């Protein structure tokens, strides 16, 4: 943890140095205020000049939801690169520079981005609209004491819930409208269309899951609590909520017993959450391994809705 804090502070210092280039150490407060005013005026005119809102998002799932609402009216930059484990990521100096130029910053919240508040302050961007996409949603408490100490008390994976994604999409819509009121009707229409598709998926699979004889499934890491809340299901996982650590021999033995008791026929694996342990578990219980999407990185050409439907169908088939 000390290393993470140190690295983050170094980022802040570096970014501060970069943004201070060209200013003398003896600059008075009026000069600083003038520079801030010029930055605000330049930023306020960016949307009208380009016709697009510059949005910085924390990771891929936030990009997917922002794109669904923003369409061709937004330019999106992603802070956490694809293929990088997002839990515990610390932003680089360039990330803070990008935030200093953005109109909107979208982050998930619920402890997913422990660095968000510090990053916003360090970006020193007076016109930046920061939106915690999970605002207003009912959180699920994390039960792992070590994770609570590191990340906070909540499970962050709200975007993997159709109902949660609706909340996040509407919060993103509100931020885009605030940044670009002229395109309010465009954002409203896109939001209504997208949330309508989310609701249709929910209604379709809510009926299906009610009819399944089994209600338990096993994943690579415990990312599907909100998904389970939507449909009255139960998850058990190889790794914990923040994808840290692998099971001990005792824990693996307990997982094997759980799978046999609950007649689990499919073990869901993710690229960044102990896929080999998932395969080993599957071999021990005579189950097959299926890939499931956490949306934390982009995957080829499939968008959020396509991957969510893939998740829904695979989990449904595993419970039949």
CA-to-CA dists, residue 152 to 62, 88, 114, 242, 245, angstroms: 20, 12, 8, 11, 18
Which regions of the chain carry the CATH code 3.40.50.1980? 43-200, 201-319
CA-to-CA dists, residue 223 to 102, 174, 194, 304, angstroms: 29, 26, 23, 16
Q: To 10 degrees, what angle do helices 93-101 and 2-19 make?
A: 50
Residue indicated by tokens 């009026």: 30
Q: What is the pLDDT of residue 55?
A: 98
Which residues make Cβ contacts (< 8 Å) with residue 25, sequence separation at least 6?
A: none
What's the topology of domain 43-200? Answer: Rossmann fold (3.40.50)
Architecture of domain 201-319: 3-Layer(aba) Sandwich (3.40)
Closest CA to 284 of 242, 318, 245, 238: 238
Q: What is the pLDDT of residue 202?
A: 98
Q: What is the pLDDT of residue 16?
A: 45
Separation of alpha carbons 123 and 319, rounded Å: 47
Q: Answer whether 206's CB lies under 8 Å from 188's CB.
A: no
* DSSP-assigned letters across all residues of 126-138: TT-EEEETTTTSP
Written in H, E and C, the secondary structure of 247-305 is CCHHHHHHHHHHHHHCCCCEEEEECCECHHHHHHHHHHHCCEEEECCCCCCCECCECHH
Question: What are the average pLDDT values for consecutive 10-residue runs of the chain, which has 320 residues?
Answer: 42 44 38 42 53 95 98 97 88 91 97 95 96 98 88 95 98 98 98 98 98 94 96 92 79 92 91 77 94 90 95 96
Q: Answer whether 281's CB lies under 8 Å from 233's CB.
A: no
Q: What is the pLDDT of residue 15?
A: 46
Q: What is the pLDDT of residue 276?
A: 81
């Amino acid at each position: 943890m000390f290393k993470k804090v140190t690295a983050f502070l170094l980022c802040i210092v570096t970014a501060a140095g970069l943004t201070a280039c060209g200013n003398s150490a003896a600059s008075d407060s009026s000069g600083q205020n003038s520079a801030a005013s010029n930055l605000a005026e330049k930023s306020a005119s960016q949307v009208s000049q380009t016709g697009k809102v510059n949005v910085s998002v924390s990771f891929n799932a936030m990009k997917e939801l922002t794109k669904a609402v923003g369409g061709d009216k937004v330019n999106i930059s992603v802070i956490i690169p694809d293929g990088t484990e997002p839990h515990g990521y610390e932003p680089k100096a360039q990330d803070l520079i990008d935030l200093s130029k953005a109109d909107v910053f979208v982050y998930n919240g619920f402890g997913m981005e422990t660095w968000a508040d510090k990053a916003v302050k360090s970006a020193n961007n007076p016109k930046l609209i920061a939106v915690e996409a999970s605002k207003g949603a009912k959180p699920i408490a994390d039960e792992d004491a070590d994770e609570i100490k590191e990340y906070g008390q909540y499970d962050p994976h709200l975007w993997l819930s159709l109902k949660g994604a609706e909340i996040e999409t509407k919060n993103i819509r509100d931020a885009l409208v605030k940044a670009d009121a002229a395109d309010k009707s465009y954002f409203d229409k896109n939001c209504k269309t997208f949330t309508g598709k989310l609701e249709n998926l929910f209604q379709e699979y809510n009926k299906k899951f009610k009819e399944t004889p089994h209600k338990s499934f096993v994943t690579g890491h415990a990312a599907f609590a909100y998904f389970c809340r939507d449909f009255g299901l139960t998850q058990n996982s190889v790794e914990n909520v923040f994808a840290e650590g692998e099971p001990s021999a005792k824990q693996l033995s307990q997982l094997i017993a759980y799978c046999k008791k609950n007649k689990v026929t499919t073990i869901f694996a993710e690229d960044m959450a102990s896929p080999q342990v998932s395969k080993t578990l599957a071999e021990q219980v005579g189950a097959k391994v299926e890939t499931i999407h956490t949306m934390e990185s982009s995957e080829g050409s499939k968008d959020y809705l396509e991957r969510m439907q893939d998740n829904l169908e695979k989990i449904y088939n595993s419970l039949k």
